[in-house]
């Protein structure tokens, strides 16, 4: 038997590296999965890679309340309900000092990374309550517990979702809904390629080597490393865990 047999999961940012890996892992453990993202072609590719009739997709914008409600309604219509919600969609923004950072870009980072999970919670909590409880997992970052130069909006957003998680965990506990964050260090994804280039234009490999040197385990995480923690938090093995920050950082902040 799979650890998620009979469960339904909605995963935002489902076309990205972590979202795809989580979708694949959840399906392998018996869940029906709805991947959500803005890029339909990438969503279709992700579903094809997973290669199961237990996964489908929904094209939606997490910054819009109506899209958040629609993705939860879609999962309910297709699969009968929602047991796990992964608020995983996120953007890195630009690499620039606070003095040089564009205000519109700041607003975009906050809208996707903070407003998105907030609206997702508003839509998901009633559906999870109808199922007798469930799990919400918000993707934060090591940047959620420490500062970093050049990416202040991203760092701010990842701190903010920890506060959102802790408040939601207190509010939703009576409904048997657990809310936690997963906080990765750099992961082998498109986002890190963008950040590496922003930190060292034309010398991204050097930026990556510098960051890896600051990780005691000497490497970036693989998306599957993060998906495994999300699987644990979505499963009944984590039935008494809520309001917690789960670092997956290779020892970076030890």
Calculate the dihedral angle through the C-alpha atoms of 69, 72, 74, 75, rounding to the nearest 10 degrees: 180
Q: What is the pLDDT of residue 192?
A: 66
Query: Do the Cβ atoms of 34 and 57 come closer than 8 Å?
Result: yes
Question: How far apart are the C-alpha atoms of 18 and 180, rounded to whole Å?
Answer: 16
| First-residue to last-residue Cα distance in the chain | 36
Question: How far apart are the C-alpha atoms of 26 and 9, rounded to whole Å?
Answer: 8
* Average pLDDT, consecutive stretches of 10 residues, N- to C-terminus, the chain (254 residues): 96 96 98 97 96 97 98 98 97 93 97 98 98 98 93 97 98 98 86 72 79 82 94 98 96 89
Q: What is the pLDDT of residue 28?
A: 97
Query: Do the Cβ atoms of 226 and 189 come closer than 8 Å?
Result: no
Query: Do the Cβ atoms of 240 and 176 come closer than 8 Å?
Result: no
Q: Which residue in the list 101, 154, 220, 246 is annotated as catalytic?
A: 154
Number of Cα atoms under 13 Å in the Cβ half of residue 215:
19
- In the residue annotation, 101 being an active-site residue is answered as no
Token pair recorded at residue 19: 């979202």
Structure confidence by residue, pLDDT tens digits, 155-204: 999 999 999 999 999 999 999 999 999 999 888 777 767 777 777 788 77
The residues spanned by each domain of the chain are 8-185+221-248
User: Per CATH, the architecture of 8-185+221-248 is what?
Assistant: 3-Layer(aba) Sandwich (3.40)
């Amino acid at each position: 038997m799979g650890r998620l047999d009979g469960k339904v999961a909605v995963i935002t940012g489902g076309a990205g590296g972590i979202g795809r890996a989580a979708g694949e892992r959840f399906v392998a453990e018996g869940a029906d999965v709805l991947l959500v993202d803005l890029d339909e072609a990438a969503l279709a590719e992700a579903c094809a890679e997973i290669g199961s009739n237990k996964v489908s997709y929904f094209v939606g914008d997490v910054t819009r309340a109506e899209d958040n409600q629609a993705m939860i309604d879609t999962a309910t219509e297709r699969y009968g309900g929602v047991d796990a919600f992964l608020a995983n969609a996120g953007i890195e923004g630009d690499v620039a000092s606070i003095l040089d950072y564009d205000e519109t870009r700041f607003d975009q980072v906050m809208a996707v990374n903070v407003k998105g999970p907030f609206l997702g919670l508003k839509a998901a909590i009633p559906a999870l309550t109808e199922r007798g409880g469930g799990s919400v997992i918000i993707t934060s970052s090591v940047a959620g517990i420490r500062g970093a130069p050049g990416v202040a909006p991203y760092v701010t957003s990842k701190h903010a979702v920890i506060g959102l998680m802790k408040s939601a965990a207190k509010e939703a506990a009576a409904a048997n809904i657990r809310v936690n964050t997963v906080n990765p260090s750099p992961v082998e994804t498109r986002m890190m390629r963008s950040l590496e280039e922003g930190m060292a234009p034309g010398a991204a490999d050097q930026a990556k080597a510098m960051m890896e040197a600051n990780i005691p385990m000497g490497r970036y995480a693989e998306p599957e490393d993060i998906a495994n923690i999300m699987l644990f938090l979505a499963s009944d093995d984590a039935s008494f865990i809520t309001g917690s920050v789960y670092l997956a950082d290779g020892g970076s902040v030890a």
